[in-house]
Structure 1
Amino acid sequence: MATIELTSENFNDIVTGSGTIMIDFWAEWCGPCRMFAPVFEKASEQHQDITFGKVDTQAQLELAQAFDISSIPTLMVIRDGVMLYAEAGALPAPMLEELIGKVQDVDMDQVRAEIAQNEQAQ
């Protein structure tokens, strides 16, 4: 599966569903973003069970601001509507694969229970 372009029009529909989505916040002028792009694209081809999306921070300024993106590339991972990871910096392929494995191993029932518990405590 190739990466998909995420925009303010389609973002919520894609990220609020079930499953895992990896999001690359990038810009054309960003050297590290251009270096990370083929790594991200290759991972999208190897992991067809994951949705890989790209947000052009220049064209989608609203989305970049909504997520306080101050450094690019920033990689964000959302699974079943819950953000599990958000970090700036380009990952080499082995580290991206390790992150994908860790995200797939997360017990989402436990995560939802912890979220519910934290909300009750407030």
Structure 2
Amino acid sequence: MKILNSNEFDDVIANGIVLVDFYADWCGPCKMLAPVLEGISEKMTQVEFYKINVDTSSDIASRYGVQAIPNLIIFKDGKAVDQITGFVPENEIVNRLESLL
């Protein structure tokens, strides 16, 4: 999964369905969620998957009110349409994504 910076963010989320994982390198649950998201991204090729480090891109995290991590925000054509906070099982993430396809 590609790590975005603040300059790339708006262009990347503009079209289609995009899941953005807001994380930090020091976050244990974020590290647990990373391989789950990698697995989902390999299966669900119609969804784009990216990461935002909240420590280096705090402006984007603030824009979307991210106060706890891991925090997944799902965008559809540039608009935030769903949000998942904390570690959740793979099937919950897949179900939420499938409901938007």
- Global fold match (TM > 0.5): yes
Counting only pairs closer than 5 Å after superposition, residues 19-30 of structure 1 correspond to structure 2 as: 19-30=16-27
Tell me the equivalent position of 1:111.
none
- Give 2:59's aligned residue: 62
| 5+ long unaligned stretches in structure 1 | 105-122
Q: Report the equivalent of 2:99.
A: 102
Structure with the bigger RCO (C-alpha within 8 Å, sep 6+) is 2
Which structure has the highest strand share of the two? 2
Instruction: From the CA coordinates, give the structure whose radius of gyration is larger.
Output: 1
Contact kept, 8 Å, 2:71 with 2:85, in 1: the verdict is yes
Runs of 4+ in 1 over 6 A off after TM superposition: none
Aligned match of 2:10: 12
Once residues 83 and 91 of structure 2 are traced to their aligned partners in structure 1, the CA distance between those partners, rounded to angstroms, is 18
- Out of 78, 84, 98, the position equivalent to 1:87 is 84
Q: Deviations over 1:1-41 (max 9, x none)?
A: xx22111010011112x210001000111111111010011
> Structure 2: which amino acid aligns with 1:87?
I
Q: For structure 2, list consecutive stretches of 5 or more residues without a partner in the other structure.
A: none
Residue 29 of structure 2 is aligned to residue 38 of structure 1: no
Aligned length: 101
2:70 to 73, 86, 89: 73
| TM-score scaled by length of structure 1 | 0.78
Shift of 1:82: 2.2
Residues 88-108 of structure 1 deviation map (CA, whole Å, 9 limit, x = unaligned): 11221111111111121xxxx
RMSD: 1.1
Give the TM-score, by structure 2 length.
0.93
The alpha-carbon deviation at position 87 of structure 1 amounts to 2.8
